[in-house]
Amino acid sequence: MGLFNKLLGNAGEVDSLNLNKEYASILIEAEEIEVGFSLFRDVFMFTNKRLILVDKQGLTGKKIDYLSLPYRSITRYSIETAGHFELDAELKIWISSEENPSICKKFTKSVNVYEVQKVLSTHVLK
C-alpha cells in the first residue's frame, strides 16, 4: 500500500534527522527541519524559518527545483480530514493574495493532518 499511496501522490512523514543531513546545503545558520513529508520523489519540509518544497524533475531526478516560502507569505490554509471511506487528507495553502490555493498536498491516514496544521499554525500565527 505504501508504494500505491506514493504513486497517487499521497505524502508520508520522513525522519527530520535524515532530512537535516540531506538538505543541509540549502539551510541557513540556525535553521532546522522540524518535520518533512515525502511524495514519491518530492519532499516538502517545515523548518523553524520557512516551508521548503523540493520538486525532483526528469527521469533521473537530478534536476531539482527548491521552492522556499517564508511563513509570513502564507495568508491562509485549510485542512480536509479523511472520511471513513477515503484514503487521504488534504492540506491547502494560499500565498499572498492568490484566489486559488498555491499548494495542495495529500496525506495518507498514517499522517496526523492535525499535527501538520499545528506546525503550520505555530509558524504562521506568530
pLDDT digits (tens, 9 = 90+) for 50-108: 999 998 887 777 899 999 999 999 999 999 987 766 678 889 999 988 899 999 988 77
Confidence (pLDDT) at 43: 87
8 A C-beta contact, residue 16 and residue 36: yes
What does the pLDDT average to over 37-61?
A: 86
Radius of gyration of the chain (CA): 14
Mean pLDDT taken over the chain? 84
Distance from C-alpha of 80 to C-alpha of 6, rounded to nearest angstrom: 19
Lowest mean pLDDT among 4-8, 31-35, 48-52, 69-73: 4-8
Strand ranges in 1-126 using DSSP code E only, listed in sequence order: 10-14, 33-39, 42-47, 50-57, 63-70, 74-80, 88-95, 103-108
Phi, psi for residue 117 in degrees, rounded to 5? -65, -35
pTM: 0.80
8 A C-beta contact, residue 111 and residue 13: yes
